[in-house]
Structure 1
């Protein structure tokens, strides 16, 4: 069983309240899907509520869910609550992540733990729950980073924390294949969102722009259609990390 349309499907988006996750939620609703929108904490609730309003304005059913996904029990509850609110989940998208640019010699153990909890541990247990709860023929999609293909300084815990997700993706793709579930990762280039700017100087922003087509950063509008494609006609792609970065880097 494959999904060639999102009409009538149920989509769960971790980190779905704003930025890329918010756009994915809106586009899924416009394509006819019902959407479960996860946000992390009270500080991001207002933006999640705006996204929910947009989903509902598109004529779709939407639910808001919150929780710290570095705690596996919260991931379990997330999938259960999404299914309670919408029905069986067909597509699970994880956009959750945290960026830190810091030299290795200055990185604390607490920073290391937090970065790997958010970027690797949460992603692992999200895939675990997806494998247990997605409908047959479902899709699991994780946002990683094009820094996985870069030779650069400063991002040891960010790229390092995201790098295990590539093997999680490959392993899950093999393990979930008997149920027709495809599992993929998308690696955007540096994205034009607040997620990025807090880590960089103006000079480094200009350098990052210079490495891609059009002298620009990756836009969320460049990535959301790839998510939609993988969730529908791109079902035959599985176990892959797709570098979508305008030529910023490759490997």
Structure 2
């Protein structure tokens, strides 16, 4: 590894947006820690795809809400590649139901992963990301669109936005940017699961560009924030084709 090689850790990189982000950052010459929670095979496929394109990657596993496990994940990436410059936290869960019908155990599980998990990862990033680096968290356009059934998920991402904006200011003097990306409807397994074709078509028709986003669309924005977008800091970027 060259001493000038930048290193990224992408949580939830075994599939969907996380996988697209890992592959995109690798094209920028970054070595990539490919984090996964349970799907080792999918994470290894992401690593293989990065390596097949000439990049370097390492699969690392841990529960994002477990501070010990995530400290080990960060340490493994640092040991393999010499440090960490970019942390992209895409890992999350989405459970949908109206407020009146939402199961409180499901609510607690969602908040543990989406809020506590985001905080644990942000805390490790704040301690470890090198000067000139970047932290990118993930929110959702649903915080503004207010789709029925999304209240707990949107609430969890609202918390992520708040943490992100505060952390950007707490990193003063470190030359580390901290931003959140808020995708709109994006064709990932997490988004498509449980939706009929009529619902998918209706959502795809809402943006002026008249299509769903792709994981690659979102990865382009992350690559900008992780690389040349040094003057963008403490912001929530809505990446949704103009839906709102």
**d(CA) in 2 for partners of 1:53, 1:207:** 36
Question: Deviation at 1:160?
Answer: 0.8
> Which residue of 2 is the match for residue 182 of structure 1?
177
Comparing 32-41 and 213-222, the one that deviates more = 213-222
- Equivalent residue in structure 2 for 1:34, among 10, 31, 51: 31
Partner of 1:17 in structure 2?
Answer: 14
> How do 1:71-82 and structure 2 match up within 5 A?
71-82=66-77
Structure 1 equivalent of residue 232 of structure 2: 237
Q: How far did 1:37 drift?
A: 0.4
Task: Give the helix-richer structure, 1 or 2.
Answer: 1
Give the TM-score taking structure 1 as reference length: 0.92
Shift of 1:8: 1.6
Match of 2:221 in 1: 226
What's the offset of the Cα at 1:61? 2.3
Q: Is the 8 A contact 2:11 2:90 kept in 1?
A: yes
User: Distance in 1 between the 2:169 and 2:33 partners?
Assistant: 26
Separation in 2, partners of 1:179, 1:199: 43
Tell me, in whole angstroms, the C-alpha distance in 2 between the residues paired with 1:199 and 1:238: 35
**Higher deviation after alignment, 220-229 or 192-201:** 192-201
Normalising by structure 2, we get a TM-score of 0.95
1:121 counterpart (112, 116, 136): 116
Counterpart residue number, 1:4: none
In the comparison of the two structures, how many residue pairs are matched?
Answer: 241
Could you give the per-residue CA deviations for residues 1-55 of structure 1, whole angstroms, max 9, x where no partner exists?
xxxxxx72111000112121111111222221111100111xx211211111122
Does the 8 A contact of 2:64 with 2:117 survive in 1? yes
Using the alignment, how far apart are the partners of 2:59 and 2:146 within structure 1?
Answer: 39
Deviation at 1:201, TM superposition (A): 3.0
Question: Could you tell me whether the CA contact under 8 Å between 2:209 and 2:242 is conserved in 1?
Answer: no
Range with greater deviation from structure 2 (232-241 or 202-211): 202-211
Structure 1: stretches of 5+ with no match in the other structure: 1-6
Q: Helix, strand or coil for the counterpart of 1:214?
A: coil
CA distance in 2, matches of 1:61, 1:224: 18
> How far apart, CA to CA, are the structure 1 residues paired with 2:117 and 2:68?
11
